[in-house]
Structure 1
Amino acid sequence: MPFWRPLSRRLSTKLLNITICGLCKAKQIPKAETVIIDGIRLGVLPDAVTYNTLIDAYCRFDTIDAAYSVLHRMRLSGISPDVVSYNSLISGACRKSLLSRSLLLFEEMVAAGVTPDTWSHNIIMHCLFKLGKPDEANRVFKEILLRGEVHPATYNVMINGLCKNGYVSNALALFRNLQRHGFVPQVLTYNALINGLCKARRLKEAKNVLKEFGESGYQPNAITYTTVMKCCFRCRLFEQGLEILSEMRNLGFTFDGFAYCTVIAAMIKTGRMREADEIIEVMVSSGVRPDLVSYNTLINLYCRQGRLDDALKLLDEIEEEGLECDKYTHTIIVDGLCKAGDFVGAQNHLHYMNRLGFGYNLVACNCMLDGLGKAGHIDHALNLFEVMEVKDSFTYTILVHNLCRARRFRCAAKILVSCLKCGFQVLRATQRAVIDGLKSIGFACEARKVKARIRLARFVP
């Protein structure tokens, strides 16, 4: 017999809810449902808390439809769904990227006479920003302001949403206005604004906000510094980025693999392989255990340096650490083998990926296509192109570019036209190379036809 046999109805419902909550957290929803049925048989009736716990669990671990069906059960039990019920549904739909469903649920809540609270509005604002509707999100924000129901989290949602929709200046203006009215920014507020400024490459303002952050009494965390450091590297201000790295270490932050990989990736992209090697040594000596992203960065470094044996050894190390390689890991290996001229090895690795269950890898095939073209094996590249299951605009651009390099302009023109017919686009520089190439070998008439086909493709969807 279940252990919650009632001593009093109130106490029993409380114990029932505790049991349901524990089972739901353990993702044991069917068992939670069984407990509810057993409780009803024993005369312990579930209340709004019981059903709301169940709704939240279904939203997190099952489908929104399953969660929504609980509302009907509540009504049959004589319990009206409340704002918590709808907030769980709206939030769950948003997490699953069912943004339009979130908006419909909000409208249903209002129509049912349930008054939205601060969290309801925050979720809806977040949805509207994700849908690319900042004006509507701003309208909701103004309504909240007029009612005086603003929570600090609301400001965070607004600033973050404005930044992600490209309205960084508006976010900064709102931030300054809020400060003048006594609003004390939180760590999340500063991080959202700094991240937005960095993505807009407004490094100077980002560093000023970072300085304010440090003087505010809050302590910027590793995410804050890593964001600014990435911005420095993106703006090619490598010395400033390394200064941020040094400052982080001096402040005693636990430097994770992500931050190290940010530095290593920046060094790789700019060809500063020696500095990248030094950062790797620092990372290893610091005792940081690499995650898969870290390993992928290291494999990429070794492949760029032509150290394929070291890169392949890391694959074994990944397995020893209990991690599983992803598509990106194997794509880096395929690209490295192609750059080293080992096309047989690259082909074998593609087959190996299929055996592992990764399926067709378009990016890896594009890497091999490019490698064959650059190595002068243009006929092999054409054969690979013909048998590729899926193609994208990069596939066509790569082949057309390499055909131009091999001065096979007529073939390049045919591929370019077929690309346009499929609705893909090739880079304009590559288009110009085809047209100029045709003219250079005396096929001006064909060049005009290709030019006309390109012009037509711009107007016909």
Structure 2
Amino acid sequence: MITRLSTKFMNITISTMCKSNQIAKAETVLIDGIKLGLNPDIITYNTLIDGYCRFVGIDAAYNILNRMKEAGINPDVVSYNSLSSGAVRKCLLQKSLDLFDEMLQSGIRPDVWSYNILMHCYFRLGKPEEANGVFRDIFERGEIYPSMASYNVMINGLCKNGYVNNALMLFRNLRRRGFVPEVLTYNAMINGLCKARRLADARRVLNEFCDFGFEPNAITYTTVMKCCFRCGRLEQGLEILSEMRRKGFTFDGFAYCTVVAALVKTGRIEEADEIAEKMMSNGLVPDLASYNTMINLFCRQGRFDEALRLVDEIEKQGMKCDQYTHTIIIHGLCKDGNFEGAEKHLDYMNTLGFGFNLVAFNSILDCLGKAGDIDKAVKVFDSMEVKDSFTYTSLLHNLCRAKKFRIASKLLVASIEDGFQILRATQRAVIDGLTTSGLVYEARKVKLKIQRARLVH
């Protein structure tokens, strides 16, 4: 009795060490325990397997199976479930499938968690048919019954793989099968419907959520609100925001910035500014994505000093601006006609160790062309290390606006021969420009060269 209780105490100590990422100390506790005459049991080793999976690696965790066998303890279903789950977390999906097969070959019967992990693995691999086959297998065997977690895995996996209708049918049948959907279930279903832009269905499920006595959290509301904005239903999105306020939800930076971004995109700058000020006055510490949204708002208003102040604030918060942050500022300066400032900020980016910024160069190129400085735009184009289809399309469009159709035609042919996808409308603009300028023969030659280049690619 004393030994069993002591082993239990040793297991609790090892578990505490493993959860706090002190694997070496956990191993020391095990060694000391064995020296004192304590016999480790299956729980001891399964605890170590889980700790190694989380903090060391799957191979190291798998080696514990051999240590178990040497100690005369056979691995059980929990041992393999921990290994399989750890493999999925590390994105070693094939390894997880191999472990499931090894478990079967060892004569260990899978439990419902084994099947849940297997289904999750298949969904992550983009094999929803196989996952559905495993789910059906649970029913057909009749030995193991699916849990609520099984349905959550299925609903979430089906939504993420584009089978939203199937997920909704399964969701509707839950109560008939004796299950009550959890908050996690509703959130997965609502998120899937929102990503499929099925706003009406998402709102319906959200209302059901409340009718059954559940309290949607801020994530639920923010998901639906973002869907409203994506679908162009700005007023509905703002209604969701008002509902969140009425119910006393504490907004995070993501919720506020979702609203600000939507208002900025629709040109409602004053309202966006009010929401942004409210966010700051509530003492919320934004994350980098939130700061980027605020910087975008200030740049669109021409408030570059405030945008740069936020860049300094990001550094004070211990965060680092990413390439997107600086690109927003460069684009804003270009739109404002301050090309000198944009180029200086681009040079500043280089001093920070950022690589070639294609998006920023494309912005400078496009804005120079639209401002009528086509010669400088061409110089920027020639200086670019990397170009994409947008680079060529933008310059071609602006060359046509400047009536420089011959230069545009040479560039068009060269870009298509190099395999870039140029918009058909841009191609027509170049050819029509040559024709209306009296260069009919050159227009025909360009058409022929384009046709040949298409055959090659």
Once residues 417 and 105 of structure 2 are traced to their aligned partners in structure 1, the CA distance between those partners, rounded to angstroms, is 49
Q: Is the 8 A contact 2:413 2:450 kept in 1?
A: no
In 2, the alpha carbon distance for the partners of 1:365 and 1:33 equals: 55
Question: Deviation of residue 189 (structure 1)?
Answer: 1.2
Q: Are the structure 2 counterparts of residues 351 and 119 from structure 1 closer, same or farther at C-alpha, using a change threshold of 3 Å?
A: farther
Gaps of at least 5 residues in structure 2 are none
Give, in angstroms, the shift of residue 75 of structure 1.
3.2
Deviation for aligned residue 1:12? 4.0
CA distance in 2, matches of 1:37, 1:387: 65
Q: 1:288 aligns to what SS in structure 2?
A: coil
1:94 counterpart = 2:116: no
Q: Does 1:110 align with 2:104?
A: yes
Aligned counterparts of 1:72 and 1:366: Cα–Cα separation in 2: 58
Alignment of 1:345-356 (within 5 A): 345-356=341-352
Judged with a 3 Å threshold, the aligned counterparts in structure 2 of structure 1 residues 368 and 115 are, in CA distance, closer, same or farther, namely farther
Aligned residue in 1 for 2:74: 80
Q: How far is 1:380 from its partner?
A: 4.2
Paired residues of 1:438 and 1:447 also in contact (CA < 8 A): no
**Stretch deviating more after TM superposition (280-289 or 160-169):** 280-289
Partner residue in 1 for 2:231: 235
Within the candidate set 7, 12, 36, 1:13 is matched to: 7
**Aligned-partner SS, 1:350:** helix
User: 1:212 Cα deviation (Å)?
Assistant: 0.9
Please give the alpha-carbon distance, in whole angstroms, between the structure 2 residues aligned to 1:413 and 1:112. Answer: 69
* Number of the residue aligned with 2:137: 143
After TM superposition, give the deviation of residue 140 of structure 1 in Å: 0.9
Question: 1:59 Cα deviation (Å)?
Answer: 2.7
Q: How far apart are residue 277 of structure 1 and its match?
A: 1.3
**Structure 1 segment 133-212 matched on structure 2, within 5 A:** 133-146=127-140, 147=142, 148-212=144-208
Extract unaligned runs of 5+ from structure 1.
1-6
Identity in percent:
67
Whole-angstrom CA distance in 1 between matches of 2:29 and 2:217: 43
Corresponding residue number in structure 1 for 2:330? 334
Report how far residue 301 of structure 1 moved: 0.6
Cross-structure match for 1:131: 125
The 1:82/1:328 distance shift into structure 2, 3 A limit, reads: farther
Contact 2:413 2:446 in 1 (8 A): no
Alpha-carbon deviations, 1:19-64, whole Å to 9, x = none? Answer: 3323322223334344444444554454333333333233323333
Residue 194 of structure 1: how far off its partner (Å): 1.4
- Describe the SS at the equivalent of 1:70: helix
Give the deviation of 1:218 after TM superposition. Answer: 0.9
Which residue of 1 is the match for residue 447 of structure 2?
448
- In 2, the alpha carbon distance for the partners of 1:391 and 1:186 equals 49
Any idea what the Cα deviations from partners look like across 1:426-445, whole Å, max 9, x if unmatched?
Answer: 44444444444454442223
Counterpart secondary structure, 1:138:
helix
Contact 1:417 1:453 in 2 (8 A): no
Paired with 2:68 and 2:384, the residues of 1 have a C-alpha distance of 54
Work out the CA distance in 2 between the residues paired with 1:126 and 1:103.
Answer: 11
For residues 151-171 of structure 1, the C-alpha deviation after alignment (integer angstroms, 9 at most, x for no partner) is: 111111111121122221221
Partner amino acid, structure 2, of 1:334: I
Contact 1:413–1:450, Cα closer than 8 Å, also in 2: no
Within 5 A, what are the aligned runs for 1:392-431?
Answer: 392-420=388-416, 423-431=419-427
Query: Distance between the aligned counterparts of 1:336 and 1:272, measured in 2?
Result: 17
Q: Which amino acid aligns with 1:349?
A: H
2:248 aligns to what? 252
Matching residue within 251, 257, 264 for 1:261: 257
Aligned AA (2:254): F
Is it true that 1:25 corresponds to 2:19 in the alignment?
A: yes
Distance 1:448 1:225, change over 3 A: same
Return the alpha-carbon distance in structure 2 between the equivalents of residues 290 and 358 of structure 1. 23
Q: Is the 8 A contact 1:397 1:430 kept in 2?
A: yes
Question: What is the letter of the counterpart of residue 107 of structure 2?
Answer: G
AA in 1 matched with 2:121: C
For the residues of structure 2 that align with 1:361 and 1:67, how far apart are their CA atoms?
42
Find the aligned partners of 2:408 and 2:286 in 1 and give their Cα distance: 44
- CA displacement, residues 274-320 of structure 1 (integer Å, 9 cap, x when unaligned): 22112123323333332222211110111111111110111122233
Using the TM superposition, give the Cα deviation of residue 387 of structure 1 relative to its aligned residue in structure 2, in angstroms.
Answer: 4.6
Following TM superposition, by how much is the alpha carbon of 1:254 offset from its aligned partner in structure 2, in angstroms? 0.9
| Larger CA deviation: 278-287 vs 407-416 | 407-416
2:266 aligns to what? 270
TM-score by length of structure 1 reads 0.88
SS in 1 for 2:181: coil
Choose which of 50, 54, 60 in structure 2 pairs with 1:60. 54
Q: 1:435 to 1:77 in 2, by over 3 A?
A: farther
Deviations 1:92-126 (A, max 9, x none): 22223332332222222222322222222222222
Is the contact made by 1:122 and 1:157 (CA closer than 8 Å) also made in structure 2?
yes
Question: Could you tell me how far apart the structure 2 residues matched to 1:436 and 1:68 are?
Answer: 68
- Deviation for aligned residue 1:422: 5.2
Letter in 2 for 1:63: G
- Structure 1 SS opposite 2:69: helix
1:214 CA displacement: 0.6
Secondary structure of 1:81's match?
Answer: coil
Q: How far apart are 1:14 and its partner, in Å?
A: 3.0
Which residue number in structure 1 is paired with residue 319 of structure 2? 323
Deviation digits for residues 373-410 of structure 1 (CA, Å, limit 9, x no counterpart): 43344444444444544444444444444444444445
**1:126/1:157 contact within 8 Å kept:** yes
- Which residue identity lines up with residue 356 of structure 1 in the other structure? L
Report the Cα offset of residue 266 of structure 1. 0.5
Q: How far apart in 2 are the matches of 1:381 and 1:91? A: 54
Are positions 1:289 and 2:259 aligned together?
no
1:52–1:397 distance in 2 versus 1, CA, 3 Å: farther
* TM-score normalised by structure 2 residue count: 0.88
The structure-2 alpha-carbon separation of the partners of 1:18 and 1:377, relative to structure 1 and needing over 3 Å to count, comes to farther
Quote the offset at 1:413 in angstroms.
4.8
Distance, in Å, in 2 between the alignment partners of 1:30 and 1:396 is 57
CA contact (8 A) 2:120 2:153 kept: yes
